[in-house]
Amino acid sequence: MEIESVQKLRAAGRDKRCDFRRRTLRRARVIVNNSNSSFDAVIRDLSMSGARVKLPSLWAVPDAFELQILTSLGAVEMIVPCEKRWQVGDTLGARFVSVENR
């Protein structure tokens, strides 16, 4: 979405984002169940406060989870505790609760 479109949505009160999101294709892993389960994912949009995450299949993500942001080589770059804000099909919006650099 272009900046002008985001500004129009904000003016109309339909875009509730507090930070600008940048399009990206970052490898990630969704961690749930006290770190006993994980699923590969792709981060499609990323901001300082959250991300839009594409899952490999339709899967009901719990309200709280960790998002591991990976380097291009697959190493863990960052672990972020998240809160699910919305989910439509295999895509979800995550709000970062705090950030831990590795």
Query: Does residue 8 register a pLDDT over 80?
Result: no
What's the CATH number where 65 sits? 2.40.10.220
Q: Is 3 part of a structural domain of the chain?
A: no
Q: Is 53 part of a structural domain of the chain?
A: yes
- Residue 19 and residue 22: Cα distance in Å, rounded? 10
Rounded mean pLDDT, 3-22: 52
Query: Does residue 17 register a pLDDT over 60?
Result: no
Question: For residues 69 and 21, which has the higher predicted lDDT (pLDDT)?
Answer: 69
pLDDT the model gives residue 19: 59
Coil/strand/helix, residue 41:
strand
81 in Cβ contact with 50 (< 8 Å): no
Query: For residue 94, which of 77, 80, 74 has the smallest C-alpha distance?
Result: 80
Q: Is 7 part of a structural domain of the chain?
A: no
Q: Is 94 exposed, middle or buried (0-12, 13-18, 19+ CB in 10 A)?
A: buried
Radius of gyration of the chain (CA): 14
Q: Which domain holds residue 56?
A: 19-101
Q: Is 39 part of a structural domain of the chain?
A: yes
Rounded mean pLDDT, 44-64: 93
Total of domains in the chain: 1
Q: Is 9 part of a structural domain of the chain?
A: no
Q: Is 34 part of a structural domain of the chain?
A: yes
- Residue 76 and residue 71: Cα distance in Å, rounded? 6
